[in-house]
Copies of this chain bind each other. A is one copy, B any other.
Amino acid sequence: MMDLDSLDKLHEECGILGLWSKEPLAVGELLVLGLQALQHRGQEAAGVVVSNGRDLLLEKDLGLVAQVFAPGRMRRLELEGAHLGIAHTRYSTTGSNLRFNAQPLTARSSKGILAIAHNGNFINALPIRQRLLEGGAVFQTTGDTEVMINLIARYAHLELIDAVDQAMRELQGGFSVVLTNRETVLALRDGGGVRPLVIGTLPQGGFVFASEPVAFPLLGASFLRDVRPGELVWIEGDELRSRQVLSVKPTPCAFEWIYFARADAKINGLEAHQARVHLGEELAREGAIEADLVVPVPDSGIGAAIGYARASGIPFDYGLYKNPYAGRSFIQPTQAMRDLKVKLKLAPTSVVRGKRVVLVDDSIVRGTTSRHIVQLLQEAGATEVHMRISSPPIRFPCYYGIDTAARKELIAATHDNEAVRVYTRADTLVFLSEGGVRHATQQSVCLACFNGQYPAGVPQGELEKLSLERS
């Protein structure tokens, strides 16, 4: 199966959701609705846990939210008196027994059943896991999320909140987590706040935690605030409680604004669409060119293209049609058909004929899709194609929850800008600068995948590799 939506893009690894309501309600249905709004953060698996304080139901499987939670499956989430739950949508790399890697994860500990859903990565999971194994622990998965559950279980003598607090202090990296023990729901974020996590309130009393606030309207919830970097929040006696566990040094991921977050998602006070328009405006300044039309690569380049058109005065037009049904195709294309992938998804409209086109996209990963799109426009009669990218060249791996391709597959890691331009066959090519990103977002963003500077550290052994690569 060839997944056309993820054609040559970086992948967010997860979206998470937690809900605690004062009164019983259709928790399963609401969490599934909310997950659908977070579907862009992970399309390979989905899972939901609901509880009424006594029973806990878990349903998870590979597939899109709407596939996993088909009508028959929804019935399995019905639970008398349910008032809380957590949910997860996941992008994951392939492997065997993937179903068992889907989240939420659950475990029966001395503290009762714990269920956890996680977005991001613990960079020191491996040494902690090794220590636990030597103490006689067993693991079901190879993932880092299970390490957190085992860490918490080790603090058997502490209250749950204190055990989670301890675990937060031991773990490093970029992570947002929701957790439940059937009584309360906890939410927490690493000290840099690399991955987003926001809080909403329910009108009937209660709270929602979500990777992005775009899930709130579907739950009837109102945006309250972001979970702060390093903060642990939970529900106690109908109230939201908070503890600042880790010291704060904000380094939110720039890519959330550049590409991952939904256009209408406001994170750290800045809406993604607004940010993208600003990025496009910066790009118009840094990459000015004389041209007739600004054309976005739909849908990811739309915001920046609008910004570019606005700042440059060059007309915006819809020069590339995106087939909404081309998301997944079961055809196994033969080698000769390989470039059909792009043709199934994108088609030029006639407005580009005889025109000098500014083609705006958010990023370049492998460069193959860019190359195909430039060709589509040229075949459709564009006289010049000027590629403008609203982010810097991606050169380094992300250790905080983004699936950057293998480094050797990142075209910008191995080619300079002119070589990338030649490969894409564009007439000119300009990437936005790091300064441009900072200026457009007005945030102290993490730019590690662009510049290799990792604010939350790197896993043991990786540092040496990186320095070799950088030299």
Residues of chain A touching chain B, judged by Cβ–Cβ distance below 8 Å, are 1, 5, 26, 29, 32-33, 36-37, 39-40, 43, 55, 57-58, 64-66, 69-72, 74, 76, 96-97, 106-110, 114, 133-142, 149-150, 153-156, 214, 217-218, 262-264, 266, 271, 273-274, 277, 299, 302-303, 306, 310, 315-318, 321, 323-332, 334, 340, 343-344, 347-351
Contact = CB atoms under 8 A, between A and B. Distances in A.
A58 B97 contact: yes
A150 B134 contact: no
Given A64-B325, A138-B107, A323-B37, A348 B306 contact: no
Given A29-B331, A139-B108, A140-B107, A65 B325 contact: yes
A32 to B, nearest CB: 6
A96 B268 CA distance: 40
**Chain A contact residues, majority secondary structure:** mixed
Nearest to A73: B330
A37 B326 CA distance: 8
B347 A69 contact: no
A302 B318 contact: yes
Contacts of A217: 343, 347
Nearest to A150: B138
Given A37-B344, A107-B138, A344-B218, A315 B321 contact: no
B137 A329 contact: no
B136 A156 contact: yes
A62 B271 CA distance: 40
B153 A138 contact: yes
Contacts of A321: 262-264, 273
Given A264-B349, A350-B274, A149 B156 contact: no
Most chain B CB inside 10 Å of its own CB: which residue of A26, A137, A141: A137
